[in-house]
Structure 1
Amino acid sequence: MWFSFLSFVILSTGLVQRLDAISSPIPPYTNYTYATELQPNLADLWWSIDDLRKEITFEFHINTTGWIALGISPAGGMVGADIGLGWIDQSGQLHFEDRYAYGFYQPMVDNTTQDWFGLQGREVNGWTAIQFKRLLDTCDVMDYPIKSGTNIVIYAYSLEDPVIIDGKATIKYHGDRRYTRAIPLQSYANPPSESKFTGLDYFDFQLHNYSVPSNETTYQCTVYKVPAKFPKRRHAIAHKAIIDPANIDIVHHMLMYECDPSAVFDDENLPSGICDDLGEVLMPCTSRIATGWAVGGDYINEFPEVAGYPVGGDFEIQYYVIQMHFNNIHQMSNRTDSSGMRFYLGNELRQYDIGYMTLGQISGATAIAIPPYDDRLVIDSYCPALAMQNIPPTGITVVAAFPHTHLQGRSVWTKIIRNKKAVQYLFNGDAYTFNYQFQNRLPQPITLYPGDELATRCIYSTTNKSVVTLGGEATSDEMCLHMFTYYPRMNNLHFCWMANSMEAWGRVTNDSIPLDYNSIVKWLTDRQWTRQSIADWQTFYNSTSKLLIYDNGGNIDFADLPKLPDYEDFEPYQCKKNTTDVDTALRPSKLRSLLKRMEITS
């Protein structure tokens, strides 16, 4: 399908349990903005962020009476992790330490700058509860900043308190009592309890005992229609991913597309089968994304109270496609699946209709081609005012963001450009991890106005790959997409994408190949990449002419851009310590000196 490059965009994703799943018998000390059960019957976490102080307060509960530790890790492991560790002694006193994991051994105490602060703690019924705080960014090389986007949280515990020797705490190795979770700490959307929707009408778009092929990768597509028992227009106020419990290991993602209002199908025999085999049949249903789910995601996504997703009645969309991606690595032939999507309907229409807008690159080789062994390739796209001109004078309100790349992606962000000046991030997914993808609720809704333009950037690293990485659907391919949820819904604001122009490909290949897709792919895969050609590739992306592809009143329009538009950027964030802390800040040279004194080697 021509627009199959959309097939992996997911809206409703995350990896955090419901608020009603909290296990700890100890009530938290205060009310928090966010809460999650990290591990059933073992670990719970609450947190709030003070935007003025740039400070985060945690409360961490674990089912143990020994020491407990929570940290922020750059890559999910111990190396470079910034850790707060605490325990309650026999007298009930809280002890709390700021530690840093230089390697795979006991984290060292940061004796130069204390940046994690224990506030209060207690032991009750075999559980330990500790409240503590730290700055989002401490400017300390022995601390790791809590960035916007996905944060990798590590935690561990012991069955015993540390042993105090010469006034210093020595902790026993935690063994396998260690865990990793990825959470967007600054933009987490607390998933609701499903009990909240008890008694509401709902309908399901769901497979029924579908025989999953033994192929490693299967994309299955089925056309659905809102049931006739809902003849009036309704607002879906939440949706739930129904994942067949027998197939948690192979259901990789599902994505729902809206079919064009002009689409007509036989309601008694709606198309269903392998997506590629239904290419022409599904062409009216492949450019408008509605919602979806991906592996590790929260199962329930709820919309803002003022808006809902319109379905049924006089709503112009009558048909939908659910695309299921089965990742059957072991090529099993005995699986049947009944996964799908459920929509909970409100009793009354809300003020606004929900809409979705996707930015970035088309997912093909003409847009995304990343050389091997490249530690940092930046791919920029730009959505000019031409594609945003139909925004109403009152603007549209953006409430959530979903950045998406595949395995090589490291960062995704979109900036608002107003009068050729960057004014703020629409969303900054600075810390991006493919295995943990989230629907990021914006801390405050952001309004876009007519004339606004949007700059999107994806950053990749291929130091672990020996072959070129091209844009595409497979996990080994790459994507650059940034999806936003907004209201009120606009029928001419669904997508705004870019690709390198065919003229650009002619220049970079010295017109040595036919300018068709397959020839470009062959040229890229056959090319011998050198250090110089890898460095030159970034220049190619920065300076080449672009093809803009955007939605214009339900039609697909194209525009040629000689290059990416220029704009005046804002100053990048730089951490600044208080002047009283400058002399005590631990710089790299001091870190090496301290490690040498402690006889620690890397």
Structure 2
Amino acid sequence: MHLQTVLALSAILLCDAKLPKLKQHILPNELPLSSKHEHNSQKFTELKNEKTSRIVDQYRVRHRRDVFDSNAFESRLNWTHTESLDENGDFVLKWISSNSGVTFRLEARTTGYVGLGFNSASNMRGADLVVAWVDDRNERAQILDCHGLHHDGEIVADEVQNYELISGHQNRTHTVVEFRRPFNTNDKEDYIINDNTIQVLWSLGPPGSDGELPKHVKSGSKPLRLIQALSKPETISLMHWDVALKNITIPNYQATLFWCKIIKVPELPSKHHIVGYQPLIDSKPIRDGNAVNEKISSPVHHMVLYECADDPDTYTWNVWAQDNGSFGPNRPIEWAICATPIAAWAMGSKGEFLPENVGIPLGGRGGVQYYMLEIHYDNNALHEVLDNSGIRVLYTPELRQHDGALLGAGIGVSALHLIPPKQPQYRTVGICSSECTSSIMPETGINIVSVLLHAHGTARKIALKHVRDFKELPVISEESAYDARYQQSRVVPGGRKFLRGDVLITECTYDTTSRDKPILGGYSTSQEMCLSFVLYYPRTELAGCYSMTPVDEFFETFGVTEFYYLSMTSIQNVFLSSGSLENLTIPVEMEMRLAAQEETRIFQGDDQGVSFLESLMIKNPPEFRNKTFMAHLNEMQWSEPLLTSQVETRLTHKGYHMMFCKKRDDTWAVPIQIEQYPIYKELSNDISEKHYKGFKLPSVTTPAAGSAVTVRDFDVAAILCLAISIIVAR
């Protein structure tokens, strides 16, 4: 759009909005126009142009209504996605994607302005913003393409207007505006919309704020992916099976709690297919011993539903299915055969639907009879809560073409997964080895159709990589702007053929610049994970394919060769049993240290060996003698780049990894093996960029040996825009 048109639009803001007609000076809240030389002093009154009317006066609104009914104003578009950006539903965003762009509909509880923005961070510095309102006098909708300044987030109008108004109206309570924009406007002041998670900013202006930006009445942000698969199938009949806990009390003294429950399958005489699932979040605060109907932020962090392998002792399993379940670390050892995930939900997800050609078998003769629901509660607020949450399983008798399954991959959850503090980009890797896939995959391989990537709060990027015949193939799935508050699975466009002997690598990149001490792996949100849940077909016996650092390799990386009282083999057995000390003979001194940490262990729930590391006393080398291992870690000079680079290299690409390959009945598909990181030719950045949707800059991380980072003839505006986003994210 021509600059003259844009300037004229800005003039209308002053001349035709709610501002007093005789006011001649610029109010502090008005939107200055961005230019190369001036941002804050440009007056809108200099910009009047009659061509603006073609933009802002296209549609007259209908008569106002006393009660808001969005359906009464619906356009003919079939909105494929709907999100409430706030908890109360005061700002509802609807959208639909085309091949080239996105059309939006804002439904907001305000008669002032409505603001929507996109950024890599949850603030307005450098953000792409659009401001919309309906003029109170002439009932005409207007929009303005803006951006936030990088140094202070002050809002200014763009030189080029790339948002196209479709329609708008308001009544006594709500404003509704529809508009569209391309994915990539080739404007340095606009955000490039692709299939990564972005921070969607929103704000509501007070009455009388048309055309100006005073302090927001309400504002916030929410992580979303604007380009994603359709949310649900429309053409099949669905039944549901609610798998949930019953009246579980989350105590106010425990920050992390895992709870598991056995559930028996519903009576289905014939085979059905699971085609999706949705969360059932039901958490109520307990006041004076009673649960009250009060809206709270639920402590449910993530949920996984597992299939349980066959067991002839059906009597015992029926008993387990009748009770309320068990605290995760104390669950019966027999429940280990519940190892194959079929549904994995995490914060921010609205649920999942499988691709139309894949279903997970449910019911029928010879089918799975028992399932285990596992729920992780993140209760750092230390509230006492009554919980009845779970998963609604959606299934159909209309069988699909392929029987599918989920495969868990990544880094085995334990305290041996270490991320140093003060690091802007630190990588860890989990490997599914070629020996594992060779032993259990069918001759024709499998087809990967979607992936759920999972980590905690310091993760910023997760990629599921694919290696075949010593060569890296295009990444299977990647989240380059990971946000733990929004964990929705990602469909693999066209699917991916994965053959016998291929290698899966889950790589996580973390930002720990705000942390002063190392972060260890575990289930608590103060700890970290690096996992991928892979939906594929045809289903196999493989349930999990993980790796972790061998114990002696881990301690030697930090200069420790020997501890008092315990051998490296004994210590390794503790971590192979998820931090359990039941079968370990330990000295009195160590028992006393563990007893002193018992309160912390209860607070953190299942800490996966963290308290055990805090009790290990170093014997050799002499310079670290009589220090606990955690004290030694906390004293290391993590601000030294050479140290952290060496640690990262040894624990990933240059070190050894212990490989685990488990079948659905909890037996080993292959024995535990210790191998070096696989050798392969890395994929160049050029090939990666062709594979991903949208526009990507070369990686800003240090390239691994043998890789090359080159900059082609990128569009300058796009480079500046993405570079700013990366800087803000860091």
TM-score range, shorter chain: 0.7 to 0.9
Tell me, yes or no, if the aligned pair for 1:23 and 1:44 is still in contact at 8 Å: no
Any idea what SS the aligned residue of 1:534 has? helix
- Cα deviation, 1:449-505, whole Å, max 9, x if unaligned, reads 33433232100121111211111111111100011212222223x222111123423
Tell me, yes or no, if the aligned pair for 1:381 and 1:564 is still in contact at 8 Å: no
Matching residue's letter, 1:323 = E
Q: Following TM superposition, by how much is the alpha carbon of 1:434 offset from its aligned partner in structure 2, in angstroms?
A: 1.1
Residue 337 to residue 580, structure 1, CA distance change in 2 (3 Å): closer
For residues 301-380 of structure 1, what are the structure 2 equivalents within 5 Å?
301-329=352-380, 331-333=382-384, 335-366=385-416, 368-380=417-429
Residue 133 to residue 566, structure 1, CA distance change in 2 (3 Å): same
Give the Cα separation in 2 of the matches to 1:525 and 1:564: 33
More helix by share: 2
Residue 559 to residue 147, structure 1, CA distance change in 2 (3 Å): farther
**2:715 aligned with 1:569, yes or no?**
no
Give the Cα separation in 2 of the matches to 1:562 and 1:406: 27
Give the Cα separation in 2 of the matches to 1:307 and 1:267: 29
Matching residue's letter, 2:459 = G
Any idea what SS the aligned residue of 2:337 has? helix
Tell me, yes or no, if the aligned pair for 1:468 and 1:525 is still in contact at 8 Å: no
**2:337 aligned with 1:284, yes or no?**
yes
Q: Following TM superposition, by how much is the alpha carbon of 1:150 offset from its aligned partner in structure 2, in angstroms?
A: 1.9
Give the Cα separation in 2 of the matches to 1:278 and 1:585: 53
Partner of 1:297: 349
Give the Cα separation in 2 of the matches to 1:433 and 1:26: 34
TM-score by structure 1 length?
0.80
Any idea what SS the aligned residue of 2:273 has? strand
Any idea what SS the aligned residue of 2:329 has? helix
For residues 116-515 of structure 1, what are the structure 2 equivalents within 5 Å?
116-123=162-169, 125=171, 127-136=175-184, 138=186, 140=188, 142-159=189-206, 171-191=212-232, 200=239, 202-216=240-254, 217-227=256-266, 229-246=267-284, 249-262=298-311, 264-265=313-314, 266-270=316-320, 272-285=325-338, 287-298=339-350, 300-329=351-380, 331-333=382-384, 335-366=385-416, 368-389=417-438, 390-492=440-542, 494-505=543-554, 507-508=556-557, 509-513=559-563, 514-515=567-568
Any idea what SS the aligned residue of 1:246 has? strand
- Cα deviation, 1:131-184, whole Å, max 9, x if unaligned, reads 1213348483x4444353322111223356877xxxxxx622241332312112
Matching residue's letter, 1:219 = F
Aligned sequence identity (%): 23
Q: Following TM superposition, by how much is the alpha carbon of 1:242 offset from its aligned partner in structure 2, in angstroms?
A: 2.5
For the aligned residue pairs, the C-alpha RMSD in angstroms reads 3.5
**2:655 aligned with 1:544, yes or no?**
yes
Residue 586 to residue 436, structure 1, CA distance change in 2 (3 Å): closer
Give the Cα separation in 2 of the matches to 1:445 and 1:143: 31
Tell me, yes or no, if the aligned pair for 1:62 and 1:128 is still in contact at 8 Å: yes
Structure 2: any 5+ residue segments left out of the alignment?
Answer: 1-68, 286-296, 576-608, 617-628, 690-695, 699-710, 725-730
Residue 480 to residue 42, structure 1, CA distance change in 2 (3 Å): closer
Q: Following TM superposition, by how much is the alpha carbon of 1:223 offset from its aligned partner in structure 2, in angstroms?
A: 1.4
Given the alignment, which residue of 84, 87, 99 partners 2:130?
84
Give the Cα separation in 2 of the matches to 1:30 and 1:259: 44
Partner of 2:7: none
Give the Cα separation in 2 of the matches to 1:415 and 1:95: 42
Q: Following TM superposition, by how much is the alpha carbon of 1:308 offset from its aligned partner in structure 2, in angstroms?
A: 2.1
Matching residue's letter, 1:529 = M
Matching residue's letter, 2:307 = E
Give the Cα separation in 1 of the matches to 2:185 and 2:332: 49
Q: Following TM superposition, by how much is the alpha carbon of 1:75 offset from its aligned partner in structure 2, in angstroms?
A: 2.0
Q: Following TM superposition, by how much is the alpha carbon of 1:352 offset from its aligned partner in structure 2, in angstroms?
A: 1.9
Tell me, yes or no, if the aligned pair for 2:430 and 2:546 is still in contact at 8 Å: yes
Given the alignment, which residue of 627, 636, 644 partners 1:529?
636
Give the Cα separation in 2 of the matches to 1:297 and 1:585: 30
Give the Cα separation in 1 of the matches to 2:381 and 2:115: 37
Give the Cα separation in 1 of the matches to 2:243 and 2:94: 34
Q: Following TM superposition, by how much is the alpha carbon of 1:269 offset from its aligned partner in structure 2, in angstroms?
A: 1.4
More strand by share: 1
Structure 1: any 5+ residue segments left out of the alignment?
Answer: 1-21, 164-169, 592-602
- Cα deviation, 1:314-373, whole Å, max 9, x if unaligned, reads 34532221123333445455x44333333343133332222001221111122x101122
Give the Cα separation in 1 of the matches to 2:681 and 2:262: 43
Residue 566 to residue 180, structure 1, CA distance change in 2 (3 Å): same
Give the Cα separation in 1 of the matches to 2:465 and 2:676: 21
Give the Cα separation in 2 of the matches to 1:529 and 1:189: 48
Q: Which moved more, 1:397-406 or 1:547-556?
A: 547-556
TM-score by structure 2 length?
0.67
Tell me, yes or no, if the aligned pair for 1:209 and 1:338 is still in contact at 8 Å: yes
Residue 104 to residue 110, structure 1, CA distance change in 2 (3 Å): same
Give the Cα separation in 2 of the matches to 1:331 and 1:68: 36
- Cα deviation, 1:526-560, whole Å, max 9, x if unaligned, reads 32121333333222223111111123685323222
Give the Cα separation in 1 of the matches to 2:205 and 2:252: 44
Residue 289 to residue 510, structure 1, CA distance change in 2 (3 Å): same
Tell me, yes or no, if the aligned pair for 2:474 and 2:683 is still in contact at 8 Å: no
Any idea what SS the aligned residue of 2:649 has? helix
Q: Which moved more, 1:461-470 or 1:546-555?
A: 546-555
Aligned length, in residue pairs: 546
Partner of 2:51: none
Matching residue's letter, 1:178 = S
**2:114 aligned with 1:71, yes or no?**
no
Q: Following TM superposition, by how much is the alpha carbon of 1:129 offset from its aligned partner in structure 2, in angstroms?
A: 1.6
Relative contact order, CA 8 A, sep 6+: which one is greater? 1
Q: Which moved more, 1:474-483 or 1:244-253?
A: 244-253
Partner of 2:593: none
Give the Cα separation in 2 of the matches to 1:105 and 1:386: 52
Any idea what SS the aligned residue of 2:334 has? coil
Any idea what SS the aligned residue of 1:99 has? strand
Any idea what SS the aligned residue of 1:485 has? strand
For residues 25-36 of structure 1, what are the structure 2 equivalents within 5 Å?
25-28=72-75, 30-31=77-78, 34-36=81-83
Any idea what SS the aligned residue of 2:226 has? coil
Tell me, yes or no, if the aligned pair for 1:500 and 1:546 is still in contact at 8 Å: yes
- Cα deviation, 1:76-135, whole Å, max 9, x if unaligned, reads 122232223344554736443232343555312233xx3733253332555332312133
Q: Which moved more, 1:457-466 or 1:238-247?
A: 238-247
Tell me, yes or no, if the aligned pair for 1:387 and 1:552 is still in contact at 8 Å: no
Structure with the greater alpha carbon radius of gyration: 2
Q: Which moved more, 1:385-394 or 1:401-410?
A: 385-394
